Amino acid sequence: MLRTTAVRLSALYLALFVGSVVLILVVVYRTTAGFLTEEIGETVALEVGAFQDHYTKYGLPGLVDLVRGRSAVVNNNAIYLLTTPTGAVLAGNLSRWPDVALSDTGWIHFKVADTSGVSNRPSTAQAMTFTLPGHFRLLVGRDMSELDQLSDRMVRSLGWIIAATAMLGLGGGLLVSRGAMRRIEAINRTTRQIMAGDLSDRVPRFGGGDEIDRLAGNLNAMLDRLERLMTGMRQVTDSVAHDLRTPLTRLRSRIELALIHDTDDAEVYRGVLQDSIGEADRLIATFTALLSIAEAESGAKRSDFTAIDLVDVVQLAADLYEPVAEERGQRLAMEIAEGVAPQTVVVRGNGQLLAQAVSNLLDNAIKYTPEGGTITLRLDGAAAGQAARVTVADNGPGVPAEERPKVLQRFVRLDAARASPGNGLGLSLVDAVASLHGARLELSDNQPGLRVALVFPADAKS
């Protein structure tokens, strides 16, 4: 657990938090203690100035009387001492001159007694000294025992506060880390089960809406996508094995019969070869369609996205398939919505795939529309929730509403379509191209016939 990111982040935040608390408390301590010390120094300095003035006016006897009078005040934390040049005490409440070195600022800090302070603690004092004319020395100071006790209490409190902060931070960090680790372990457990082959398992969500919940949602969406792809791959494998076995068997039988047939007629062999080439072309077309679908579903073509003018795409498709429709006795009508002109309906995409998708829709419509029927190719521009819409409608048998989701799957052909040529991949490819471009494929009833619309989202222009 100590190697986990959650614990390391908790430790980092704990160190930063404790450091911040220590800094704040140190600043408070220095500010408080410094303020009291500075106030005592100002008071002592004023009192020293008063003594100097009194000495100037009344001389040494007057100064001695003033020192004695102030030293006799009861419950006073002031300290006074006036001595002769030889060190004899003239007045004051100290028994002798402190044996400490004088600092550069003129202040001295010394111990007065071992047990006479607050709560029988050592009594200390801070004083200012100066020398009078005639080498008489005067000491004026204050008992610092209370301030020392306050400082000690603040230092102890600082230690307890830091310890409590560290414990609370450590406990909170461990709780947070434990919760995060429990949720991450749930993700790891799910991934292990998926690696073991169970694609149905999903990462649990706790409903908090935080980043781990969003990660779980994204992972579940990815797993849904993977499960669909794996299921589709199994279906494709089964369908390929089933649907291609017949044409391959037919191709082999045709060649085998030609070899068995004892004839020198070149036309017979030519017919067999032509039929074999036709069968091979249909097989190649099937595999080409499968590769195109796989390429579209993988998203590999997104790197080739450019600005595509849909007017050019539908116009080219109409020009290519209009002769085909006429040959079958059908009419292909192209409709461009009012206000739609070249370079007015532009989306970002792969032009080749979009052209192939529209061509597949037209090919399906022509294949299933009876003679004398009409196929309509229509392009609409931007509207509510869409950047463009390409619609292909026919007068064929149509697709029942309950069967429409199925016809988008690979190799799925309805019973009415099995007699017509094809491999059941046309709409699958269109659906894959639509997904690649963020568009949606809408199948509806044309009364009679089928209406298929390729709807591009409103942000498809970006």
- Domains in the chain, CATH or no CATH each: 5-151 (3.30.450), 202-298 (1.10.287), 301-461 (3.30.565.10)
Phi, psi of 209 (to 5 degrees): 75, 15
- What letter does residue 386 receive in the DSSP assignment? B
Cα separation, 418 vs 422, in Å, equals 8
pLDDT digits (tens, 9 = 90+) for 415-434: 554 445 555 677 888 888 88
pLDDT digits (tens, 9 = 90+) for 389-419: 999 999 888 888 888 887 777 666 665 544 4
d(CA 18, CA 29): 16
pLDDT at 418: 47
- pLDDT at position 129: 85
Quote the pLDDT of residue 452: 92
Cβ 18 vs Cβ 164: under 8 Å: no
Cα(269)–Cα(21) distance, integer angstroms: 96
Map tokens 């199948």 to a residue: 443
What are the distances in angstroms from CA 185 to CA 189, 224, 227? 6, 20, 22
User: Which stretches in the chain have pLDDT values below 50?
Assistant: 118, 417-419
Cis peptide preceding 397, ω within 30 of 0 = no
The amino acid that residue 159 corresponds to is G
How is residue 406 annotated by DSSP? Answer: G
**Is residue 296 a contact partner of residue 436, using CB atoms and an 8 Å limit?**
yes
Those residues with Cβ within 8 angstroms of residue 338's Cβ, 6 or more apart along the chain or in another chain: none
